[in-house]
Amino acid sequence: MRFTSTAWEQRKLKDVVDIFDGTHQTPKYTDSGIKFVSVENIKDLRTIKYISEEDYIKEYKNKRTEKGDVLMTRIGDIGTSRVIETEEELAYYVTLSLLKPKQVESNFLTWLITSPEVQRDIWKRTLHIAFPKKINLGEINLVDIRLPEYEEQTKIGNFFKQLDETITLQGEQLYILDKYLIILSLS
């Protein structure tokens, strides 16, 4: 697949997304309600933790998640991101930052964050003397990124999303095959 070769524009992350962090307090968990995610849930955003809708409304009044937003880890594991692909609202801990795209396509942004160039800038801005290490919101705002036109962002983002889905599917198939081979060897 070829993408167009238009010039990519240098920007700061704050120019193309609004950035928020999650609650700094450990919430009161409930048996049901709004799902609560943190750094350990970034791969699939699955969780067994919930907070009440009342607490969610109070804490996340101005920073609610929406489909197409991106969550990025910022404490411990830094710079791992995931597009929110559901309409379901999520509550999130301070270990995550919420990136609300203004002028960038979500899947492209997630791919861009994993690029060596952006990862180096994130690493450079990380507080390594903190334990666990972290990157502050002000530093996330200043991360340098390069963007093509929106149409090209969409093509690139969709390409890498499809590639990730294929890799995940292949991994699941290999896992099932491995279990099947173990069962056969025990027979």
Residue 3 has pLDDT above 70, yes or no: no
- Does residue 92 surpass a pLDDT of 70? yes
Q: What span, in angstroms and rounded, lies between the C-alpha atoms of 48 and 14?
A: 32
CA dist., res. 1 & res. 5, Å (int): 13
Domains observed in the chain: 9-148 (3.90.220.20)
Distances (CA, A) of 125 to 71, 82, 95: 18, 20, 16
Instruction: Please tell me the predicted confidence (pLDDT) of residue 164.
Output: 78
pLDDT at 34 over 80: yes
Phi-psi region at 45: left, alpha or beta (left = phi > 0; alpha = psi -120 to 50): left
pLDDT for the residue numbered 6: 72
Task: Judge whether 113 and 172 are in contact, CB under 8 Å.
Answer: no
64: its two tokens: 């609610």
Is residue 4 very low, low, confident or very high in pLDDT (cuts 50, 70, 90)? low
**Rounded average pLDDT over 60-70:** 95
Higher pLDDT, 81 or 150: 81
Q: Of 117 and 184, which is predicted with more confidence?
A: 117
Distances, alpha carbon 82 to alpha carbons 4, 29, 37, 38, in Å: 25, 23, 12, 12
pLDDT above 60: residue 88? yes
Return all residues near 51 (Cβ < 8 A) that are at least 6 apart.
Answer: 27, 28, 29, 30, 33, 34, 36, 59, 91
pLDDT band for 100, please (50, 70, 90 cuts). Answer: very high
